[in-house]
Amino acid sequence: MEQKIHVALGERSYDVRIAPGLIDQIGSSVAELTGAKQVVVITDSNVAPLYAARVTESLAAAGVVSRVLEFPAGEPSKNFATVSDLLDELLGSGEPIDRGTVIVPLGGGVAGDMGGFVAGVALRGLRFLQCPTSLLAVVDSSVGGKTGVDHAAGKNLIGVFHQPVGVLSDIESLRTLSIEELRNGLGECVKHAVIRDATLLDFIETNAETLQRVDGEKLAFDSDVMCELLAKNVAIKAQVVRTDERESGVRAHLNYGHTIGHAIETFVGYANIRHGEAVSLGMVTANHIAVARELFAPAVADRIANLLQSLNLPTTCGSLDAVKIWDIMKHDKKARGGQVRMVLPTGLGEVDIYDDITEQEVGEAVESIDG
Ligand code: GLY
């Protein structure tokens, strides 16, 4: 069942491993990949009680000394103040670290982004092994070396590109996610299908029900199906990152659904909408603009909307203010000189970047999802 995807980046290349039980192999992986004798695990207050002890046991069994730094779970922690606290603990207490120390970010996107950032700046750069425990983090943020934190002026405005030495995605850790969190990640999988791989769309359609199976408190997805889904998505992400590591070109395709999506997140407040929900609305509105420009067949846009609905992701949203959404888009860090850029589908599995998006197009698209 184990899947391994190679992220080919020359001397910064690494493998993403996807399988059940990998949390218990963190120790042997650190030893094999780095030879390190000291690890600092960075995790949040939700994930620590679930997995931190298993991680430290695995490290101890491999002869690696470790300690765990924990921060309060949630996006509001993803800021410079938390990084500063983590650095104080990393540098100012416990066993002194050195340039051979390895960081293990353990958790969802926030732990991965912040742990990777701490690794990127401490002692001018430490090696790190990503251990994502949310679907969103496995298929997106753990691969590609984007690390960083939010700023009052916007999301992810402070950070560095810093590639991990490897990624261990233990699919069993996804079973403790809420079904909403799982769906959050499935939205990102639909995004990958639309930008690169029509067969992935078929796969998600076929397995939508299996993937969302719940048994009591735990998710009961089929392990083989989940491993295959993750591998297909990571392969797409790896291929995009290999072609354009620092987002000077095609890596921006990964922003499909994110331009209007981010603006909706800002407009309704991050606490009121999940990232995957906002991206779902962002994809539907981008498709609306593409259809209006006659770049994209209406039937395919409908197919994507139907799939999002079958994943219980929203395709309509009440009380959005199109003028404010446009204003937020114009101030987004990805706007160039105030000109809004959007990634639009030009066929199933193909997208392009457009710099000439107008306020009227965005207004019509936002109105089309009013519901
Ligand atoms: N999540 C978008 C990227 O990694 O470029």
- Of 121, 155, 176, the position where a domain reaches its end is 176
Asked if residue 62 has pLDDT above 80, the reply is yes
Cα(57) to centroid(ligand 1), Å: 32
Asked if residue 104 and residue 247 are part of one domain, the reply reads no
Mean pLDDT over 13-24 rounds to: 98
Query: Taking all residues of the chain, what is their mean pLDDT, rounded to a whole number?
Result: 96
Which has the higher per-residue pLDDT, 155 or 162? 162
Asked if residue 255 and residue 183 are part of one domain, the reply reads yes
The pTM for the full model equals 0.96
Shortest-distance atom of ligand 1 to CA 140: 1
SS3 content of the chain, % helix, strand, coil (to 5): 55, 20, 25
Mean pLDDT over 170-183 rounds to: 97
Asked if residue 300 has pLDDT above 90, the reply is yes
Cα(32) to centroid(ligand 1), Å: 28
Asked if residue 144 and residue 7 are part of one domain, the reply reads yes
Number of structural domains found in the chain: 2
Give backbone dihedrals phi and psi of 156, rounded to 5 degrees, phi first: 55, 35
Mean pLDDT over 110-123 rounds to: 98
Name the H helices within 122-178.
135-136
Per-residue confidence (pLDDT) for residue 271, from 0 to 100: 83
The pocket around ligand 1, CB under 6 angstroms, is made up of 140, 144, 146, 247, 251, 254
Per-residue confidence (pLDDT) for residue 105, from 0 to 100: 98
pLDDT exceeding 90 applies to what percent of the chain? 92
CATH of the domain at 30: 3.40.50.1970
Shortest-distance atom of ligand 1 to CA 254: 2
Cα(323) to centroid(ligand 1), Å: 27
Asked if residue 213 and residue 144 are part of one domain, the reply reads no
Per-residue confidence (pLDDT) for residue 149, from 0 to 100: 97
Per-residue confidence (pLDDT) for residue 202, from 0 to 100: 98
Asked if residue 211 and residue 146 are part of one domain, the reply reads no
Confidence tier at 336 by pLDDT (50, 70, 90): confident
Ligand 1 pocket test: pick from 16, 110, 140 the residue with the most ligand atoms within 8 Å of its Cβ: 140
Give the three-state DSSP class for 197: coil
Mean pLDDT over 147-162 rounds to: 92
Confidence tier at 104 by pLDDT (50, 70, 90): very high
CA–CA separation, 49 vs 40, rounded Å?
16
Mean pLDDT over 172-196 rounds to: 97
Per-residue confidence (pLDDT) for residue 93, from 0 to 100: 87
Asked if residue 332 has pLDDT above 90, the reply is no
Asked if residue 371 has pLDDT above 90, the reply is no
Cα(120) to centroid(ligand 1), Å: 17
Asked if residue 49 has pLDDT above 90, the reply is yes
- Of 118, 143, 176, the position where a domain reaches its end is 176
Shortest-distance atom of ligand 1 to CA 252: 5
Cα(140) to centroid(ligand 1), Å: 6
Asked if residue 202 and residue 79 are part of one domain, the reply reads no
Confidence tier at 18 by pLDDT (50, 70, 90): very high
HSE, side-chain direction, 13 A CA sphere, residue 162: 25
Per-residue confidence (pLDDT) for residue 164, from 0 to 100: 98
Q: Which of 82-91, 315-324, 329-338 has the lowest mean pLDDT?
A: 329-338
Per-residue confidence (pLDDT) for residue 359, from 0 to 100: 97
Q: CA geometry: angle at 193 spanning 190 and 212, to 5°?
A: 40
Asked if residue 265 and residue 135 are part of one domain, the reply reads no
Which has the higher per-residue pLDDT, 244 or 335? 244
Asked if residue 342 has pLDDT above 90, the reply is yes
Asked if residue 350 and residue 314 are part of one domain, the reply reads yes
The string of DSSP letters for 328-367 reads: HHHTSTTSBTTB--EEEEEETTEEEEES---HHHHHHHHH
Which has the higher per-residue pLDDT, 135 or 335? 135
Cα(251) to centroid(ligand 1), Å: 7
Asked if residue 141 and residue 268 are part of one domain, the reply reads no
Asked if residue 50 and residue 163 are part of one domain, the reply reads yes
Asked if residue 334 has pLDDT above 80, the reply is no
CATH of the domain at 316: 1.20.1090.10
Closest CA to 11 of 291, 191, 245, 274: 245
Shortest-distance atom of ligand 1 to CA 247: 5
Ligand 1 pocket test: pick from 130, 136, 141 the residue with the most ligand atoms within 8 Å of its Cβ: 141
Shortest-distance atom of ligand 1 to CA 146: 4
Asked if residue 338 has pLDDT above 80, the reply is no
Asked if residue 79 and residue 128 are part of one domain, the reply reads yes
Mean pLDDT over 220-225 rounds to: 97
Q: CA geometry: angle at 242 spanning 239 and 245, to 5°?
A: 125
- Of 134, 150, 176, the position where a domain reaches its end is 176
Mean pLDDT over 117-139 rounds to: 98
Mean pLDDT over 346-364 rounds to: 97
Which has the higher per-residue pLDDT, 336 or 245? 245
The string of DSSP letters for 274-312 reads: -HHHHHHHHHHHHHHHHHHTTSS-HHHHHHHHHHHHHTT
The parent domain of residue 184 ranges over 179-368
Confidence tier at 110 by pLDDT (50, 70, 90): very high
Active site (catalytic) residues: 124, 146, 188, 237, 247, 251, 255, 258, 262, 275
Mean pLDDT over 25-51 rounds to: 98
Q: How many CB atoms lie within 10 A of CB 37?
A: 16
Mean pLDDT over 217-243 rounds to: 97
Q: If you take atom 3 of ligand 1, which residue's CA is the nearest one? A: 254
Asked if residue 233 and residue 168 are part of one domain, the reply reads no
pLDDT exceeding 70 applies to what percent of the chain? 100
DSSP code of residue 146: E
Ligand 1 pocket test: pick from 188, 244, 251, 333 the residue with the most ligand atoms within 8 Å of its Cβ: 251
